[in-house]
């Protein structure tokens, strides 16, 4: 669901960890524990490995010590901000199969784009590239959900102008939800770049607001952990 998924799609993002979204049920937690044991993985930092903490949106972090993956970090989550429930994500996932027949299940690009809308500046160029890749791969056989995704999420003035030209009807329909599409339609690129920057800052603010109570809870976890260690 993170940088490694971006690599599979061709929107390369250097990542030293693997981010995994897990279906939160007891059978999966049992399987996860078995996998972590095989990797000789130990929990690092806080929060604790607690289904209740995961359900509130926390990520639990592990470091692997098995010789073939020594140092690899694995981050586990069961919930993402403004992303559908796991069953929906699983239904529309993308599956890659390598030469050895191993399957890799990834968030589909639209869901991955939503998951990457964070307060980190480095995630936004990746979003731009993911949307462009999805557009180039699907424009020849575009379906309405594709067009809506591109018009909602495209991040370059040139691509937005192209979309408004090719799909004027859907672009007009979405202007009330994304007003900067009017600027793209009229090719007012300087104003459009400013509007795109504002969009990023607003989304980053929403992400900060989402994480603030979780950050405060992490501080409580850290104090409790220090007290237990003393």
What confidence category does residue 230 fall into, taking pLDDT thresholds of 50, 70 and 90?
A: low
Asked whether the predicted pLDDT for residue 59 surpasses 80, the reply is yes
Closest CA to 114 of 194, 203, 177, 192: 203
Closest CA to 74 of 27, 117, 42: 42
In this prediction, what percent of the chain has a pLDDT beyond 90? Answer: 85
Q: What's the pLDDT at 91?
A: 97
> Token pair for residue 6?
């971006």
Q: pTM of the entire structure?
A: 0.92
Q: Under 8 Å CB-to-CB from 163, ≥6 apart: which residues? A: 135, 147, 150, 151, 154, 171, 184
For β-strands 60-64 and 41-44, DSSP reports them as antiparallel
* CB burial of residue 217 (10 Å; 0-12, 13-18, 19+): middle
Asked whether the predicted pLDDT for residue 227 surpasses 80, the reply is no
> Token pair for residue 36?
């972590």
**What average pLDDT does the chain have?**
94
What confidence category does residue 225 fall into, taking pLDDT thresholds of 50, 70 and 90?
A: confident
Q: What's the pLDDT at 229?
A: 66
Q: Distance from CA of residue 99 to its chain's centroid? A: 26
Range with the poorest average pLDDT among 131-145, 191-205, 216-230: 216-230
Higher pLDDT, 164 or 230: 164
Average pLDDT score over residue span 56-82: 94
Packed helices 157-166 and 123-138: angle between N→C axes, nearest 10 degrees: 30
Closest CA to 125 of 11, 3, 2: 11
Q: What is the pLDDT of residues 145-178, one digit of tens each?
A: 999 999 999 999 999 999 999 999 999 999 999 9
Q: What is the pLDDT of residues 110-119, one digit of tens each?
A: 999 999 999 9
Q: What's the pLDDT at 13?
A: 66
Asked whether the predicted pLDDT for residue 23 surpasses 90, the reply is yes
* CB burial of residue 164 (10 Å; 0-12, 13-18, 19+): buried
Average pLDDT score over residue span 70-75: 94
């Amino acid at each position: 669901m993170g940088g490694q998924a971006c690599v599979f799609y061709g929107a390369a993002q250097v990542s030293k960890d693997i981010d995994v979204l897990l279906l939160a049920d007891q059978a999966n937690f049992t399987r996860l524990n078995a996998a972590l044991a095989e990797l000789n993985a130990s929990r690092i930092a806080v929060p604790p490995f607690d289904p209740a903490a995961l359900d509130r949106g926390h990520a639990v972090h592990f470091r692997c010590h098995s010789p073939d993956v020594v140092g690899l970090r694995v981050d586990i989550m069961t919930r993402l901000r403004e992303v559908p429930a796991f069953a929906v994500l699983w239904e529309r996932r993308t599956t890659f199969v390598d030469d050895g027949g191993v399957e890799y299940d990834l968030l589909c690009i639209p869901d991955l784009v939503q998951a990457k809308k964070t307060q980190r500046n480095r995630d936004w160029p990746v979003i731009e590239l993911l949307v462009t890749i999805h557009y180039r791969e699907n424009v020849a056989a575009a379906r309405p959900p594709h067009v809506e995704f591109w018009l909602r999420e495209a991040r370059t003035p040139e691509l937005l102008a192209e979309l408004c030209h090719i799909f004027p009807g859907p672009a007009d329909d979405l202007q009330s939800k994304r007003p900067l599409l009017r600027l793209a339609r009229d090719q007012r690129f300087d104003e459009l770049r400013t509007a795109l920057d504002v969009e990023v800052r607003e989304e980053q603010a929403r992400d900060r607001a989402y994480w603030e109570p979780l950050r405060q809870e992490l501080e409580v976890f850290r104090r409790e952990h220090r007290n237990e260690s003393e």
